[in-house]
Amino acid sequence: MTVRTRIAPSPTGDPHVGTAYVALFNYCFARKSGGQFILRIEDTDMARSNPQSQEAILNSLRWLGLDWDEGPDVGGPHGPYQQSLRGEIYRQHVARLLEEGHAFRCFCTSERLAELRKAQQPAGLRPGYDGRCLGLSQAEVEQLLRDNVPYVIRMKVPEQGVCEMTDLLRGRIEIGWDMVDMQVLLKQDGMPTYHLANVVDDHLMGITHVIRGEEWINSTPKHLLLYDYFGWEKPVFCHLPLLRNPDKSKLSKRKNPTSLVYYQRMGFLPEAMLNYLGLMAWSMPEGEEKLSLAEMVEKFDLAHISLGGPVFDIKKLSWLNGRWVREDLSDEQYAERVQKWALNREYLMPIAALTKQRVSILSDLGPLTAFFFSGELPVKAADFEDKKVPVEVSRKAFARALEEFDALGCWDKQAIGALFKQLCDEFQSKLRDFLRPFYVAITGSPTSTPLFDSMEILGRDLCRARLRRALEVLKGANS
RNA sequence: GGCGCUAUCGUCUAGGGGUUAGGACGUGAGAUUCUCAAUCUCAAAACCCGGGUUCGAUUCCCGGUAGCGCUACCA
């Protein structure tokens, strides 16, 4: 049996470092075992999934060099590798579960379910479906179908006993079936939920080892049950610890840069990124810390993964990156990397358009655009002193903007501009005054290239990081 | 709240019934270099708590505590 693993990202946002982290282990395990590594897009959430995100995720994983043997872009014998294109497959499988009595139609409205939960919570009950539609007679179901009442399909779950599972890293885990909800398998829109799609695809795609984040442990019983219902052989399950913020919570963009695009823009090398991600969970007995992807593949051992949730430490990542730059790049290669990083046509063109009107001689360009080629800016509290805008207002405005950044669907100058106009109204300020502190935070100076354009070029994560930094700087300042 | 997972320096980790508990990042001090960076040396810094088992537990077992996760027609 050849080992087959997969990474199955959901295209609902920026490419996440956690995705790269899980992908790395799947990649190493597959390569080490001489097996295949597959990329599958889990875009069953029609409301949140979008093609830009999918494209960005693929680009980031390619940037890192984690190449996949089968996937939406390269094809393969088990395609399509995009779940939104596999609707018919899921519907057929659900029909089978329905026929065999392992699943049932549920006509309950989301309002009723919300009320149900509201009643369960204070009563100390586990929130979950109460099985009302399980009691529907055949005739009642047929009538509801004739009336075109919308429904979902849920899986049946044993009422008693415990589900025993084996995790490759943690050994035996037991979860009582009474803790498992009658999970929706097929949503009202005809799309499957993760639980169904994941099991069906993993089986059909011949996945032998499911290596995924720890957050899935509690729903594994549902998956195991589905394998049993279908009569399929189960893969090996292996749950990886979750990456953490410095405060130990699950790594999130609110508190930390999580986008691979950010790290790319900051000028981290893919080699260092991958190396560091690997270091988060295991280490070499000899203590060497600098490892190439090939070396990691060669020495990789799932059993050596430590289980504590590791804090993502940018300082150590930077140190490692420095080693890669110093020790592995010739002057020429280094120059090429710099060029590829930001001194390339694609990045420079919009900057050229922005600066042409603002220079007299070409050497004005350096100071004018330094912030486009920097990470965090060395701003001080004094830089934010402004005759018309009290520091306290800036601070509040930064905090509000930071909140709204995430909600912004599309990161372009129109959207950014609209957001700032809205915030400006909210603060009942003049746009010119309101924006000045943002210029300082984002570009390092109150006079610079146009803010919205500059922000679009810099990207969401870098702007977020700079605003966060400005907020930090202002924390100790008195207005 | 319920359920689950986890627990070694501030951080990432090694180790494991008897060790001066090892390495790395970061921090501090020094050396070196025209400055800086890099490099080198040194230093401070950890086995969550309580019970068992044992001649002996940081290590094994149990309990607690804490952290995290899950508890959606999101993944």
The enclosing domain of A137 has a CATH number of: 3.90.800.10
Both A317 and A384 in a single domain? no
Token pair for A345: 């046509």
Both A109 and A172 in a single domain? yes
Both A245 and A343 in a single domain? yes
- Domain range for A100 is 88-192
- What is residue A130's DSSP assignment? -
The enclosing domain of A448 has a CATH number of: 1.10.10.350
Q: Which nucleotides of B are covered by protein (CB under 7 A)?
A: 1-8, 10-15, 22-26, 38-39, 67-75
Both A365 and A469 in a single domain? yes
Both A298 and A384 in a single domain? no
Close Cβ partners of A110 (under 8 Å, ≥ 6 residues apart)? none
- pLDDT at res. A473: 87
Close Cβ partners of A149 (under 8 Å, ≥ 6 residues apart)? A107
- pLDDT at res. A109: 86
Does at least one atom of strand B sit less than 7 Å from the CB of A173?
yes
Query: For A99-145, what is each residue's pLDDT tens digit?
Result: 999 999 999 888 888 888 888 877 777 888 887 888 888 889 889 99
Kindly state whether residue A187 falls inside one of the protein's structural domains.
yes
Token pair for A433: 């005054």
- pLDDT at res. A476: 63
Candidates A187, A250, A253, A255; catalytic one: A253
The strand B neighbours among A residues 403-462, by Cβ under 7 Å, are: none
Query: For A251-297, what is each residue's pLDDT tens digit?
Result: 988 888 999 999 999 999 999 999 999 998 877 767 789 999 999 99
Report the nearest residue to nucleotide B37, CA vs C1': A322
Both A416 and A463 in a single domain? yes
Domain count, chain A: 3
Residue among A155, A161, A165 nearest A221 (CA): A165
Query: Three-class SS string for A357-370?
Result: HHCCCHHHHHHHHH
- pLDDT at res. A479: 41
Alpha helices in A65-182 (DSSP H): 87-99, 110-120, 138-146
Sign of CA dihedral A370, A372, A375, A380: positive
Alpha helices in A121-254 (DSSP H): 138-146, 194-204, 220-230
Q: Say how far A209 CA is from B52 C1', in Å.
A: 39
For residues A194 and A53, give the distance between their C-alpha atoms in angstroms, rounded to a whole number.
18
Q: Say how far A32 CA is from B15 C1', in Å.
A: 26
Kindly state whether residue A353 falls inside one of the protein's structural domains.
no
Does at least one atom of strand B sit less than 7 Å from the CB of A245?
no
Domain boundary pick from A165, A192, A219: A192
Domain boundary pick from A347, A375, A410: A347
Other C-beta atoms closer than 10 Å to the C-beta of A244 total: 20
Both A470 and A367 in a single domain? yes
Both A464 and A407 in a single domain? yes
Kindly state whether residue A265 falls inside one of the protein's structural domains.
yes
Both A342 and A368 in a single domain? no
Q: Say how far A257 CA is from B8 C1', in Å.
A: 28
Active site residue A118: no
Both A59 and A151 in a single domain? no
Q: Say how far A264 CA is from B3 C1', in Å.
A: 39
Does at least one atom of strand B sit less than 7 Å from the CB of A289?
yes
Residues above pLDDT 90, as percent of chain A: 78
State the residue for tokens 């996945």: A207
Residue among A409, A462, A382, A391 nearest A13 (CA): A409
Kindly state whether residue A60 falls inside one of the protein's structural domains.
yes
Q: Using the predicted structure, report yes or no on whether residue A184 has a pLDDT greater than 50.
A: yes
Does at least one atom of strand B sit less than 7 Å from the CB of A194?
yes
Kindly state whether residue A230 falls inside one of the protein's structural domains.
no
Kindly state whether residue A225 falls inside one of the protein's structural domains.
no
Query: For A209-236, what is each residue's pLDDT tens digit?
Result: 999 999 999 999 999 999 999 999 999 9
For residues A352 and A344, give the distance between their C-alpha atoms in angstroms, rounded to a whole number.
12
Does at least one atom of strand B sit less than 7 Å from the CB of A254?
no
Residue among A369, A269, A251 nearest A325 (CA): A269
Query: Which of A21-25, A265-269, A390-394, A440-444 comes out lowest in average pLDDT?
Result: A390-394
For residues A193 and A49, give the distance between their C-alpha atoms in angstroms, rounded to a whole number.
13
Supply φ then ψ for residue A5, to 5 degrees.
-120, 170
Both A372 and A402 in a single domain? yes
Other C-beta atoms closer than 10 Å to the C-beta of A280 total: 23
The enclosing domain of A254 has a CATH number of: 3.40.50.620
Kindly state whether residue A214 falls inside one of the protein's structural domains.
no
